[in-house]
Amino acid sequence: MTHPPTELLIDYLHGQLAPDEDAAIHAHLAECPTCREQHDAELHLSELLRAHARAQEREMPPQLAAQIRAAAAQRRPAQWQWFSLALRPIVAFPVAAAAALAIYFGFGAHGLHARSAGPATIDATYYLEDHLSLANSAAFAEGAVMPAVVATEQTGDGQP
């Protein structure tokens, strides 16, 4: 194996190589002092960083945990979360059903239901006028009420 570049040694150090690549580098380091020295320099840097981090490690301030709990207890869901909650089936279906019933009964009380259902009411004067015209001895006299049956049989221009 040729001398691996520093980048490959860094990947090897972090255990991020494929098994065959890892094995090849491992074998090469066993035989190449130059590359082993370069590897050890990278290892030393990693160890320095970890030792520094360990030395600097801190416990979480106790007041911080209490502040987080207090903030969470006061936290209300964001507006979008209320919207999300409202869209859940367990909430949305009953609300939609209630809205549909309200619309159904609400419009029905104002006549929509009445217009769309049941037979039309009978205008009694229509039949009285028709009967009167039929009983009239001068049915076609001027001013006489034209029977509805005759009126509907005329042509469009009104002529018999």
Partner 1 sequence: MAAPRKPFEPATPDQTAFLERALDQYGKATYNFAYRLTGNEADARDLTQDAFIRVYRAWRSFKPGTSFLSWIYRIVTNLHRDELRRRKGRYQEELPDDNEHQEYNGARPLATQPIDEYVESQFSEPVSKALAALSEEQRQIVLLADIEECSYQEIADIAGCSVGTVRSRLHRARGQLRKLVNRYMSASKT
Nearer to partner 1, 44 or 131 (CB): 44
Nearer to partner 1, 49 or 100 (CB): 49
Helix axes 33-56 and 6-13, enclosed angle (nearest 10): 50
Nearer to partner 1, 61 or 156 (CB): 61
Asked if residue 9 lies in contact with residue 42, where contact means CB atoms within 8 angstroms, the answer is: yes
Q: How far is the CB of 92 from partner 1 (least distance, A)?
A: 17
The neighbour count for residue 1, using CB atoms within 10 Å, is 12
For 57-88, give one letter per residue: b (16+ CB within 10 A) or e. Answer: eeeeeeeeeeeeeeeeeeeeeeeeeeeeeeee
Nearest to 126 by CA among 107, 151, 102: 151
Residues that bind partner 1 (CB under 8 A): 6-7, 10-11, 14-16, 41-42, 45-46, 48-65, 67-69, 71-73, 75, 77-78, 81
Q: How far is the CB of 64 from partner 1 (least distance, A)?
A: 5
d(CA 44, CA 37): 10
Q: How far is the CB of 105 from partner 1 (least distance, A)?
A: 37
Nearer to partner 1, 16 or 154 (CB): 16
Q: How far is the CB of 34 from partner 1 (least distance, A)?
A: 17
